[in-house]
Amino acid sequence: MRREASVLHLDLDAFFAAVEQRDKPSLRGRPVVVGGVGGRGVVATASYEARVFGVRSAMSTREARARCPHAAFLSGRFHAYRTASRQVMAVLRDLSPLVEPLSLDEAFVDLAAADLPDLGVETVTAVARDLRAAVQEATGGLTATVGVATSKFMAKIASDLDKPDGLTVVAPGTEQDLLRPMPVAVIPGVGPATAERLRASGFRTVADLEQASEAEVVRLLGKAHGHGLHRLAHGLDDRPVVAEREAKSISVEDTYAEDVTDRTTMEGLLTRQAATVARRLAKARQSGRTVTIKVRLHDFTTSSRSQTLDAPTDHPQVIARTARALLGEVDTTGGVRLLGVGVSGLADWIQESLFGDEHDEEEPLTELPLAETSRRPAWAPGADVVHSEHGPGWVWGSGRGVVTVRFETAETGPGPVRSFAVDDPALVLLDPGRHEESDDSPADNPSP
């Protein structure tokens, strides 16, 4: 805990949905749900207008449709979210060299490393206000909620207090007043199972925990977890803001004696490589956000494809599934002589955990509903299109050989809707994938 409120936490509001509303003027002020639109789809996020109806992240899309049938259900445009995320992180780095991104829409900023005249409450409040405006400006209208406090723990709690589009500065010395009445679940590492165990022993609020002795909490939850939790209940948190370290990668590749031509075999090989990468990640106690495959064809042309997930993973199935989906982007009809799988954008995920090995509830792995995309329909609702005559628009819906498009962009007002035959050559689907060419090869040695 610092003497001054110099840790800032920023989180964008209804991030994916807000990007969609920005780019689709007819959806502004309306319920929007982004996620898997198929039968077993899951909600990634919902606009605040949809949350009024009880739609939440991780809810099945079926349930969301039942609760809010008039919402726009979109399958998501990862490239747009990634671009917006980069813009936001750039704004944060303008303010301070010490920025620690936690996910696409969230980061800590160390204001002590910024060039500020002082770190008094008035100054940091003004800085945070300007920062929110700068984020809005840089992203074309996305709003963020910000918390500023004397520690990461408190800053993160503070950034959740005034959502959406808000700001909370916790004055030094007032932390416990704020924390005490809150449920124990606000403490990082306290998931539903731990919360239930605590509740069963009579600990409902942070105040309840604060009054307990450390020994008591340790007896209940084990040494590492109990100790960390007891400290946090007293607002004690000295974790530094750590700038993102240089991207490293863990990868494997194999060259085959004979060209592999069978697609199922290729997928099997990638799956095996993914398992090896996952094992190495686990051993290094790391996880990464970007999965890359490398493919060398029979004629020695080499290409890489990569996808960045919303959260770091070291999960063999997630890596394998992503790798197999990426293979779908490469024309392998002539056969391949080399395949490789890598994971980069590594984070010491362990480090975020305060509780060492006894940490029993992992951060939920944000398995992007978007990643269901191998089954994603070509005319995914929400996808960008351009028509040679009507210009840019987005897929409003499709079926029975017809695709309906709304012609509008972030810069226009709400636009008109028109329908076309799915094979109309004048209508082109833009950026159909969530993946894009990667800049760097997954392999340790550069490709020719």
Binding site residue list: 11, 105
Does residue 164 bind ligand TTP (CB under 6 A)?
A: yes
Q: What CA–CA distance (Å, rounded) separates 306 from 341?
A: 10
Q: Can 49 be counted among the known catalytic residues? A: no
Does residue 49 bind ligand TTP (CB under 6 A)?
A: no
Q: Which of 60, 123, 125, 366 binds ligand TTP (CB under 6 A)?
A: 366
Does residue 13 bind ligand TTP (CB under 6 A)?
A: yes
- Residue 58 interacting partner from Mg ion, ligand TTP, none (CB closer than 5 to 8 Å by kind): ligand TTP
User: For 403, left (φ over 0), alpha (ψ -120 to 50), or beta?
Assistant: beta
Give the ranges where 175-295 is alpha helix by DSSP (H).
175-179, 192-200, 206-211, 214-221, 223-233, 263-283
Restricted to residues 181-240, the positions that interact with ligand TTP (CB under 6 A) are: none
Restricted to residues 235-264, the positions that interact with ligand TTP (CB under 6 A) are: none
**3-state secondary structure (DSSP) of residue 336:** strand
Restricted to residues 98-137, the positions that interact with Mg ion (CB under 5 A) are: 105-106
| Segment interacting with ligand TTP, rule: CB under 6 A, options 10-18, 194-202, 288-296, 326-334 | 10-18
Q: Which of 84, 114, 87, 117 is nearest to 99 (CA)?
A: 114
* Angle at alpha carbon of residue 244, lines to 242 and 247, rounded to 5°: 145
Nearer Cβ to Mg ion, position 48 or 256?
Answer: 48
Q: How far is the CB of 443 from ligand TTP (least distance, A)?
A: 29
Q: Which of 79, 92, 83, 44 is nearest to 64 (CA)?
A: 44
Chain residue at closest Cβ approach to Mg ion: 106
- Residue 100 interacting partner from ligand TTP, Mg ion, none (CB closer than 5 to 8 Å by kind): none
Nearer Cβ to Mg ion, position 160 or 208?
Answer: 160
And the tokens for 341? 């799988």
Catalytic residue among 4, 100, 106, 408: 106
Residue whose structure tokens are 């951060």: 363
Does residue 44 bind ligand TTP (CB under 6 A)?
A: yes
Count the neighbouring beta carbons within 10 Å of the beta carbon of residue 184.
Answer: 21
| Segment interacting with Mg ion, rule: CB under 5 A, options 2-10, 13-21, 76-84, 214-222 | 13-21
- Residues 325, 83, 59, 190: what is their CA dihedral angle, to the nearest 10 degrees? 100
Handedness of CA 39, 45, 46, 52 (dihedral sign): positive
Q: Which of 4, 6, 15, 203 binds ligand TTP (CB under 6 A)?
A: 15
At 6, which amino acid appears? S
Q: What CA–CA distance (Å, rounded) separates 94 from 78?
A: 24
Does residue 105 bind ligand TTP (CB under 6 A)?
A: yes
Q: How far is the CB of 159 from ligand TTP (least distance, A)?
A: 9
Does residue 16 bind Mg ion (CB under 5 A)?
A: no
Q: What CA–CA distance (Å, rounded) separates 127 from 423?
A: 52
Q: Which of 374, 415, 347 is nearest to 267 (CA)?
A: 374
Does residue 45 bind ligand TTP (CB under 6 A)?
A: yes
Q: How far is the CB of 137 from ligand TTP (least distance, A)?
A: 19
Count the neighbouring beta carbons within 10 Å of the beta carbon of residue 202.
Answer: 8
Nearer Cβ to ligand TTP, position 16 or 349?
Answer: 16
Does residue 80 bind ligand TTP (CB under 6 A)?
A: no
**3-state secondary structure (DSSP) of residue 333:** coil
Q: How far is the CB of 175 from Mg ion (least distance, A)?
A: 22
Q: How far is the CB of 299 from ligand TTP (least distance, A)?
A: 39
Q: Which of 23, 100, 237, 310 binds ligand TTP (CB under 6 A)?
A: 310
Q: What CA–CA distance (Å, rounded) separates 259 from 193?
A: 50
And the tokens for 156? 């993160």
- Residue 247 interacting partner from ligand TTP, Mg ion, none (CB closer than 5 to 8 Å by kind): none
| Segment interacting with ligand TTP, rule: CB under 6 A, options 6-14, 147-155, 194-202, 335-343 | 6-14
Distances (CA, A) of 160 to 31, 51, 165: 21, 15, 10
Q: What CA–CA distance (Å, rounded) separates 297 from 330?
A: 10
Does residue 396 bind ligand TTP (CB under 6 A)?
A: no
Does residue 12 bind Mg ion (CB under 5 A)?
A: yes
**3-state secondary structure (DSSP) of residue 72:** strand
Q: What CA–CA distance (Å, rounded) separates 3 from 359?
A: 29
Nearer Cβ to ligand TTP, position 168 or 302?
Answer: 168
- Residue 163 interacting partner from ligand TTP, Mg ion, none (CB closer than 5 to 8 Å by kind): ligand TTP
The catalytic site residues sit at: 106
Residues at the interface with ligand TTP (CB under 6 A): 11-16, 44-45, 57-58, 105-106, 163-164, 310, 366, 368
Residues at the interface with Mg ion (CB under 5 A): 11-12, 15, 105-106
